Structure 1
Amino acid sequence: MGSRNRLSAAALAAATPATRDRYVDLLRVASLAVVVLGHWLMAAVGADGQVGNLLAVVPELQLVTWVFQVMPVFFFVGGFSHALAHRSRPAYPAFLRARLQRLLRPTMVFVGVWGAAALVLQLSGADGGLTGVALRLVTQPLWFIGIYLAMVAFTPPLLKLHERYGWGAFAGLVGAAVLVDVLRFAAHVPFVEFLNFAFVWLAVHQLGFLRADGMLRRPALLAGAGLLGATALVALGPYPLSMVGMPGEKVSNMAPPTLALLCHGLWLVGAVELLKGPGARFVARAGVWRTVVAANGIAMTAFLWHLTAMLAVYGVLLGTGATLPDPASGAWWAQVPLRFAAAALLTALLVAAFRRFEAPVPPAPSTGAGGPLAALGITLALLGVLGLSLTGFAGLLDGHAATLIVLPLTAPAAVALILTGWLVVERAGRVDRAHGAVTGRSR
C-alpha cells in the first residue's frame, strides 16, 4: 500500500496544473506541522505522570508563540481554498457535503477508536494516571475542526459579502471583534466574549478571500499593523503575552479569541505573504512539491493522532521505569530529539493504519436545493465537535459533562450531535440531487 500511495502522490504532483498556487499548499502543510511540533514540545510530563505546560514552566518562552502560534495561517489558507472550492461547486449542500466528508470521516474513526478504548479502560479500572490524562487531552485539538466547520458553513454568505464589499467585509468582522472586546472588558457583558470565536477567526478566514482575488497587495503594511497592534494591546491592555491558552490564567487570547490574537493573525498573514516569492520558488522544486502533495493527503489524519502518539511515548517511558527528568531541565531538553523521533514514528504508523479514511469524495451533481437542511446539519456537527473537544473521553460511564457556552454536553451526546449533523448534510445532498433530477426531467 505504501508504494501505491507514493506513486499516487507522485502522479498527482506530476499532473499539477501550472495555474495552481503551490505556495498555499506549502503553507497548509507547514502550519499543521508547526502545530504538531508545538504540541509535542509543550507537553511536559513529569515523573509522576502529570502533564504540564512547558510555557508555564518557562514563562519566557511565551514570546515564542508570537511566531509559532500558526493556526491563523491555516485558517487564512482555508479561506483561500474555500473561495476557490465554492466557486467551482457553488451549490451549498454539495459544497458542505464534500468538506464534511473530508473532515469528519477521519475524525469519526478517531472518535470511534478512542471511545471504544475509553470504555474498555474504564470498565477495567485502568483509566487512572497518565491514561486518565490522555482520555481528557486527546480530544482537545478537535476545537480546530469545529472552528473549521464553522468557516465552511459561513463561506457562501461571507464570500458574497467579500465580492460586494471587498476589504469592507473584512473591516466589518474586525469591527465586530473590537466591539465584543469592548463589551467584554469595559462593560463586563456576560457571555459576549464567545462571539469572537466567530468574528476573530472569520476575519482571518476573510483574508484568504482577499488573497484569492489578488487584493493582498501590501503584506508589509498588514504585518506591521498587526505586530504593532498586538504589542500595544498586550503592553497596555488586559491581554496576556502568550498567544496560546495557559493553565490558570484569567484571560486567554485563544479561548475565546481576543483582539490581540486577531492582530497576531494579521501579523502572521502579512509575514507569510512577504515570504511568498522564495516560498513559491522552493515549492516549485519537483521533490519538494511531491512531498507537499503527499503530506496534504495525510495532514488531517496526522493531526488527529499526533497527541495519541506523544502520550503513548510518555506512557512507554513511565511503564518501563525510565527516568523522566524535570521539565525544562538540561536532561529534559536533551531527550527532546529522541521523544520527537519516537512520536513521529508512532504517528507515521497510525497514519498508515488510518489514512484511507481521509480520501476525498467524488463530487455529485447539485442544484442548490436542500440548503437550509444542510445548514442545520453542519450546525449540529460543529456543536458536537466543539463539545467533544471540551468533554474528552474520561468518565464516560459516570456521565461526565462539560459546558459549551451554556449547553451542557456529555461525550456520547456530542458524538450523537456530530453523527446527526453529518447524516442531515448527507440527506440534504440527496434532496439536492433528487431535485436536480426532477428539474432536469421537467426541462
Structure 2
Amino acid sequence: MGIIASRASHGSSVRELAAATPASRDRYVDLLRVASLTVVVLGHWLMAAVTPDGEVGNLLAVVPGLQILTWALQVMPVFFFVGGFSHALAHRSRPQYAVFLRARLQRLLRPTMVFIGTWSALALAVQLLGADDGLTGVALRLVAQPLWFIGIYLAMVAFTPPLLRLHGRWGWGAFAALVAGAALVDVLRFAAGVPYVAFLNFGLVWLAIHQLGFLRADGLIRRPGLLAAVGLVGAGLLVGFGPYPLSMVGMPGEKVSNMAPPTLALLCHGLWLVGAVELLKRPGARFTARARVWRAVVAANGVAMTAFLWHLTAMLGVYGTLLALGIRLPQPASAAWWAQVPVRLAAAAALTALLVTLFRRFEQPPAAAAARAGASGSGGGNRHLAALGITLALFGVLGLSMTGFGGLLEGHTATLVAVQVSAPAAVAMGLAGWFLVERAGRS
C-alpha cells in the first residue's frame, strides 16, 4: 500500500496523497484491491436473507438459480492476487523477515485486533445480561466469519519470502507445483477418501493465486486471455463432471464446498478471474489516471480494511433495528424483499460509514510508529519472534472465525482442522501474536 499507507499516517489529505503518487505506481492494482473488497461487501449484504422471525439464511439457498452469479462475483481471488503483487515488491524493498512482516501487517492486524477487542467486550456484556439469543446470538457468530480472510492473508505474508525465492528460481514452475499439489489433494480427498487432507488446500489453492501476483510483478503474465480461458473451461469441466458444486461460495448444509476447504474448481475460478482482470489492465490504467478517480481510490484504500471488518456488523445492525422497531420483514426473495433491497443496502452503507468514522484511525499507524518503521528498515529484527507472532495471530484469527464471539464465558469451542479451539484462547492468541510481530519488527 506504499505511499498511501506511509503518508496517510502523517495526516496528509487525500488530495495531497493523490498528487504525490509517483508516476511509476501501478494504480490499477489499487483499484483492483478496492473493487474486490467492495464486491465482497455488497455480496455479503445481498446474500443475507433474514426471515420475518429473525432467522438468518442465504439468498443463494433460497434461489439456487442465482448461484451461477458467484462465477463473476466471488472475487476474493483477485484480492489475493493483488496481495501477491504487493508483497513481492514490498519484500524486495525490505528483505529482512521481521521488518517485512511488521510493515505488511501493521495496517492489517491493528484494526483487526481493535475489532476483536471491541466485539469481545460487547459479547461479554451481552452474555452477562442474558441477551445472547435470537438475532443477537446469530450476530455474535456471523460477525467473526470474515476473519478467515484475515487468517489466510496472514499466511500469505508469512510464506512470501520462501515462495518468492522459489518464484525467482522456477517462475511459472513454482506456480505449477502449487497447482499440482492442490489437484493431488483433491484426488486424495474425493477418490481415496483420505481424512483431513482437504485442509491442505487452504494453503495450496490460495498460495497458488498469490503466486500469480509474483508473476505479474515480473511481467510474466503475457497471455491473460489464455489464462482466463483455461481457468473458465477447467472450472466448467470440474463442476459439470466432477464432485464440485456450482456455487463458488460456501452454502449452508452442503456436503462439498468449493470454499471450505478450497477446491481445484475454485483455483480454476481464480485463474479465470485473474486472466479477466489482466485483460482489462490497459483500460483500467487509463481510468485510474483520471485525477478524480484516483482520489477516490486513494480515499477508499485508506479505510478498506476497516470497512471490511465492520460491514457485517452494520448489516446485522440494520436488520436488528428493523426487528426492534416491530417492522415485519418480507419473506426473502419475495417481490417486497427485492423492492426493499436498495433501502437496506443504503442503510447498511450509511451505518458502515459511521463505523468507519469511529474506527478508521486504527487503520492508520500513528506518526511515531511510522517513523520507527522507517528507522527499523536498516535492521534485521528478530525473525524467530516474528515467525512465532504471525503463527499465533494466524491460528487466533482463524480460530475466532470458527468459534465466533458467543460463549466467551463458557469457553465455547469449535474445530479448526482437527484441533479444538476455544473462543477465549483464540482471542488471546490473536492479541499475543500481534504484540510479538510489533515487537519483533522494532527490535
Q: Same fold (TM over 0.5)?
A: yes
Contact kept, 8 Å, 1:6 with 1:294, in 2: the verdict is: no
SS at match of 1:403: strand
Deviations 1:267-292 (CA, angstroms, capped at 9, x unpaired): 00000011111111111110000000
| Alignment-derived partner of residue 425 in structure 2 | 413
Q: Are residues 1:370 and 2:382 paired?
A: yes
> Matches of 1:22 and 1:212 in 2, distance apart?
13
Deviations 1:64-102 (CA, angstroms, capped at 9, x unpaired): 000000000000000000011111111100011122221
Q: Which moved more, 1:66-75 or 1:359-368?
A: 359-368
Q: For residue 26 of structure 2, what is the amino acid of its counterpart?
A: D
SS at match of 1:397: coil
| Alignment-derived partner of residue 303 in structure 1 | 308
Q: Are residues 1:21 and 2:26 paired?
A: yes
Q: For residue 395 of structure 2, what is the amino acid of its counterpart?
A: L
State the 1:157 CA deviation. 0.6
SS at match of 1:241: coil
Q: Are residues 1:390 and 2:407 paired?
A: no
Contact kept, 8 Å, 1:86 with 1:156, in 2: the verdict is: yes
| Alignment-derived partner of residue 293 in structure 1 | 298
Contact kept, 8 Å, 1:302 with 1:351, in 2: the verdict is: yes
Deviations 1:334-379 (CA, angstroms, capped at 9, x unpaired): 0000000000000000000000000145222343352222112111
SS at match of 1:52: strand
> Matches of 1:405 and 1:270 in 2, distance apart?
31
> Matches of 1:403 and 1:126 in 2, distance apart?
25
Q: For residue 278 of structure 1, what is the amino acid of its counterpart?
A: P
Q: For residue 441 of structure 2, what is the amino acid of its counterpart?
A: G
Q: For residue 297 of structure 1, what is the amino acid of its counterpart?
A: G
Q: For residue 234 of structure 2, what is the amino acid of its counterpart?
A: G
State the 1:127 CA deviation. 1.1
Contact kept, 8 Å, 2:78 with 2:273, in 1: the verdict is: yes
Contact kept, 8 Å, 2:99 with 2:442, in 1: the verdict is: no
Deviations 1:197-256 (CA, angstroms, capped at 9, x unpaired): 000000000000000000000000000000000000000000000000000000000000
Aligned equivalent of 1:58, options 57, 60, 63: 63
Q: Which moved more, 1:135-144 or 1:97-106?
A: 97-106
SS at match of 1:257: coil
| Alignment-derived partner of residue 262 in structure 1 | 267
Deviations 1:130-164 (CA, angstroms, capped at 9, x unpaired): 11100010000000000000000000110111111
Aligned equivalent of 2:137, options 132, 137, 142: 132
> Matches of 2:130 and 2:94 in 1, distance apart?
50
Q: For residue 93 of structure 2, what is the amino acid of its counterpart?
A: S
Aligned equivalent of 1:353, options 349, 358, 363: 358
SS at match of 1:396: coil
Q: Which moved more, 1:416-425 or 1:299-308?
A: 416-425
| Alignment-derived partner of residue 153 in structure 1 | 158
Aligned equivalent of 2:288, options 275, 280, 283: 283
Matches within 5 A, 1:205-244: 205-244=210-249
SS at match of 2:130: coil
Q: Which moved more, 1:55-64 or 1:358-367?
A: 358-367
For structure 2, which runs of at least 5 residues remain unmatched after alignment? 1-8
| Alignment-derived partner of residue 349 in structure 2 | 344
SS at match of 2:13: helix
Q: Are residues 1:422 and 2:427 paired?
A: no
| Alignment-derived partner of residue 252 in structure 1 | 257
CA gap of 1:52–1:5, structure 2 versus 1, over 3 A, is farther
CA gap of 1:7–1:92, structure 2 versus 1, over 3 A, is closer
Contact kept, 8 Å, 1:402 with 1:410, in 2: the verdict is: yes
SS at match of 1:190: coil
CA gap of 1:98–1:5, structure 2 versus 1, over 3 A, is closer
Taking structure 2 as the reference length, the TM-score comes to 0.95
Contact kept, 8 Å, 2:330 with 2:337, in 1: the verdict is: yes
| Alignment-derived partner of residue 434 in structure 1 | none
Deviations 1:378-397 (CA, angstroms, capped at 9, x unpaired): 11110100000010011112
> Matches of 2:436 and 2:12 in 1, distance apart?
36
State the 1:28 CA deviation. 0.2
Q: For residue 170 of structure 1, what is the amino acid of its counterpart?
A: F
> Matches of 1:242 and 1:277 in 2, distance apart?
30
| Alignment-derived partner of residue 116 in structure 1 | 121
> Matches of 1:389 and 1:347 in 2, distance apart?
20
> Matches of 1:52 and 1:369 in 2, distance apart?
47
SS at match of 1:134: helix
SS at match of 1:197: helix
| Alignment-derived partner of residue 68 in structure 1 | 73
Contact kept, 8 Å, 2:381 with 2:442, in 1: the verdict is: no
Q: For residue 411 of structure 2, what is the amino acid of its counterpart?
A: G
> Matches of 1:5 and 1:313 in 2, distance apart?
34
Contact kept, 8 Å, 2:411 with 2:424, in 1: the verdict is: no
Taking structure 1 as the reference length, the TM-score comes to 0.95
Q: For residue 79 of structure 1, what is the amino acid of its counterpart?
A: G
| Alignment-derived partner of residue 32 in structure 1 | 37
Q: For residue 406 of structure 2, what is the amino acid of its counterpart?
A: A
